Amino acid sequence: MKYRYSHAVPDKPSTHSLPLDRTTDKNFVNTIARAEPKECADLFISSFGHQITWPKRILSRTSPAAILHYVVDGKGTFNGDEVGSGQFFYTFPNQRYTILQNPDTPMEYYWISFLGTKTDELMKECRFDRVVQIQNIDFSDEIVELFDKVVYGDHTDKDLDLYLLGLLYTLLSYHKRINLLEDRSEKLNKDYGYFQKAMSYIEDSVNKGITVSVSDISGHLHISPSYCRLIFHKYSNHSPQKMILFKRFDRTRSDLELTSYSIKEIAFRAGYHDPSLFSRQFKKIFGISPVEYRENYKKEEEFE
């Protein structure tokens, strides 16, 4: 048996449940995962599925696989950036990521994850970028149809392997075409290059414990602060100030997830002597307070 399936309908939300009646309001995640990894394969699908989940759910982890996500309804954030219906986001192998569901209209999305020696080559060929990892989808209806055939259809193991690889290559061909067009247009101006340099500057500064401002970033790029803000809104939907805060607070999530430190202790480790200010800033970035983040993360671990 190459794949394992979970078809039980639980009494509470679970990350491995499958109520097949999609007309109900039940929260569910339909996950189909490979039971045994294929060692040294060029390319294989490790998991795929369809998810409708509960408000404020937090998924924070690092996966060895590359993962493509297609949002068909609802809202949430991916690594602090807002994402919603009609958009696509992706993660690279071994990239830490956090998906936070909207408190009122959580996301419904399909995903597929893949591994193998050709993974990096394919990601590069399709122009997937490590800076801008959210895109609009021009082919969402086609994607839903393709995923539904495999998630809810009947397939033998051999047939499923072939269908999944075909699905992945079809999806990648869509993205390659779109990203190549965008790549050509970006070469006509310097905005994207500025954004990449700005992100590298912010990350280097945060890693060194250096506090930076919009003026520092614009000075580093030799552009005006207003131009700098325009570029950030163009490529991230964030202001430079919010991006700086996000990068600064990103490391505090590990303390909330993996330690028993109090909020006061975590705030102090992040350079805040006022826990209330720390909590307000955290909520400004992630949409929920540090206490809610920790509670929701524990809930996620409980349902794994």
For the chain, the structural domain boundaries read 3-186, 191-303
DSSP H helices, the chain, are: 119-125, 140-151, 157-186, 191-207, 214-221, 225-236, 240-250, 252-258, 263-269, 275-286, 290-303
Name the pTM for this structure.
Answer: 0.72
Instruction: Decide if 233 contacts 240 (C-beta within 8 A).
Output: no
Query: In this predicted structure, what is the pLDDT of residue 144?
Result: 83
**How far is Cα 59 from Cα 40, in angstroms, rounded to an integer?**
28
- Structural fold of domain 3-186: Jelly Rolls (2.60.120)
pLDDT band at 22 (very low <50, low <70, confident <90, very high): very low
Mean pLDDT value of segment 254-278: 89
Instruction: Decide if 85 contacts 93 (C-beta within 8 A).
Output: no
Instruction: Decide if 271 contacts 255 (C-beta within 8 A).
Output: no
Mean pLDDT value of segment 270-283: 89
**How far is Cα 262 from Cα 84, in angstroms, rounded to an integer?**
33
CA 288 to chain centre: 17
**Under 8 Å CB-to-CB from 148, ≥6 apart: which residues?**
50
Mean pLDDT value of segment 192-219: 88
DSSP character for 85? T
pLDDT band at 81 (very low <50, low <70, confident <90, very high): confident
**How far is Cα 304 from Cα 17, in angstroms, rounded to an integer?**
11
- 3 state SS of 22: coil
- The number of helices, as runs of H, and strands, as runs of E, in the chain is 11, 11
Q: With DSSP H G I counted as helix, E B as strand and the rest as coil, what are the percentages for the chain, rounded to 5?
A: 45, 20, 35
**CA nearest neighbour of 150 among 201, 92, 111:** 111
CA dihedral 6, 10, 15, 20 (to 10 degrees): 60
Listed ranges 40-54, 176-190, 202-216; the one with the highest mean pLDDT: 202-216
On the question of pLDDT at 90 being above 60, the answer is: yes
**Under 8 Å CB-to-CB from 200, ≥6 apart: which residues?**
none
| Cβ count near 292 (within 10 Å) | 18
| Cβ count near 189 (within 10 Å) | 9
Question: CATH homologous superfamily for 191-303?
Answer: Homeodomain-like (1.10.10.60)
Instruction: Decide if 293 contacts 286 (C-beta within 8 A).
Output: yes
In the block, residue with structure tokens 């078809």:
7
Q: What does the radius of gyration of the chain's CA atoms come to, in whole angstroms?
A: 20
Q: Do domains 3-186 and 191-303 have the same CATH topology?
A: no
Question: How confident is the prediction for the chain on average, in pLDDT?
Answer: 78
Name the more confident of 57 and 151: 57
